[in-house]
Amino acid sequence: MKFYLGIDYGKRKTGLARAYEDSLIALPWKIIKTDNLKELIIKHKDDILFVVLGHSLNLDGSNNKIQKEIEEFAEFLDGLKISYFYSDERFSTQATLAMMKWLGVKEKSRRPKRAIKDDAAAAAQILQSYLDAVE
């Protein structure tokens, strides 16, 4: 089944989200080691409609230090002829945490397991905000 892919790119771990073409609702998918991201993209290449990459910006709007790696990853997508778009990710994690709090999810210390959920949920936030903007 074809899907849109949201990516919250990180140095070590990357959060992923999907929205199937018939629903356009972004849902957290999984977290993977960033080193395995290209392999996952190649595996699902024929099912990916397009990718929404979190544009990593500082609060003043300048590129964050990880943005260069994200742009290099975008070149990889170009090589596979996979379309991609950038979406401002500056407040995606904060929005995700606020939503989890609103839903009654108890705030605990940032353990690795929790960070995984946050990263995938942030990827869903990045993807959903793009889908909402173009709808």
AA letter at 63: N
pLDDT 10s digits, 90-102: 555 555 555 555 5
What is the C-alpha end-to-end distance of the chain, expressed in Å? 20
Residue closest to 17 by CA, chosen among 114, 116, 127, 92: 127
Q: What is the C-alpha separation between 10 and 103, in angstroms, rounded?
A: 26
pLDDT of 50 reads: 95
Distance of CA 19 to the CA centre of its chain: 11
Q: How far is the C-alpha of 121 from the C-alpha of 112, rounded, in Å?
A: 14
Res 65: pLDDT: 82
Share of the chain above pLDDT 90, in %: 54
User: Measuring CA to CA, which residue among 133, 119, 123 is closest to residue 26?
Assistant: 123
Residue 86 to residue 98: CA distance in whole angstroms: 23
Number of Cβ atoms within 10 Å of the Cβ of 4: 21
Task: For 16-46, write each residue's pLDDT tens digit.
Answer: 999 999 988 999 999 999 999 999 999 999 9
pLDDT value of residue 91:
54
**Entry pTM:** 0.80
Distance CA 8, CA 31 (A): 9
Supply φ then ψ for residue 78, to 5 degrees: -55, -45
User: Domains plus CATH for the chain?
Assistant: 3-134 (3.30.420.140)
